[in-house]
Amino acid sequence: MSEAKLRETICLLARSMFDRGLTGGSTGNISARTADGGLLVSPTGTSFGRLDPGRLSRFDAAGTLIDGDRPTKEMPLHSAFYDTRASTGAVVHLHSAHSVALSMMPDVDEDNFLPALTPYAIMKLGRVKLLPFFLPGDPAMGEAVRGLAGKRSAVMLANHGPVVAGKDVEAACNAVEELEDTAKLAMLTRGLRPRGLTDQQVADVVTRFDVEWDQ
């Protein structure tokens, strides 16, 4: 994909998520790897609904900002995924309401944040790690991701929002939307004893779709 097309795609997907209420105001950030090994990143303080392709922060392959506006303060989160997972081509972070609500529940599994309600979150995300609360912009968030040693493609920041890495920007956006949809299902059915997938069904999904799971 050309850089011009990638810029347009980032802004199109971000606008779509904003329009559907997946992240509001000036929240959320998104980045994608360019063909030359650099990065395009949403600027700080910008709205997903109004990103300008020509003003995206542009980093070269050495990590130096060479063009565009000042990048998101959550760059340590993005860099941690790119540095620890060679397959990462894009990272997206939202403040999506249902996933944040689920992160506040006292009985969620920190090592496997999403309940196994459908096969799709398993297929797109594997196990999601719930990380503790950090102040926004705290570099410690990136260090927490680095501490996972590349073993997770998605994390949930408690009381904050999900962060997902994908092979490209469309895959990352699809995966973070699946995370939010599954969290929504979990909140809608909370206390109703829903029939989720059995351990064997989860294992079948993991095997059939070659999911990174037992890590």
- Residues catalogued as catalytic: 74, 120
Residues 97-133 as b/e (b if ≥16 CB within 10 A, e otherwise) read bbbbebbeeeebeeeebbbbbbbebbbbbbbbbbbee
Query: Are 188 and 122 spatial neighbours (Cβ–Cβ below 8 Å)?
Result: no
Q: Which amino acid is at 145?
A: V
Tokens found for residue 27: 């929240």
On the 0-12 / 13-18 / 19+ scale of CB atoms within 10 A, 35 is exposed
- Torsion angle in degrees (nearest 10) through CA of 46, 113, 212, 15: -20
- List the one residue out of 28, 71, 47 whose CA is nearest residue 173: 28
Question: Cα-atom radius of gyration of the chain, to the nearest Å?
Answer: 17
- Between CA 57 and CA 148 the distance in angstroms is 27
- Between CA 115 and CA 107 the distance in angstroms is 11
Tokens found for residue 91: 């990272």
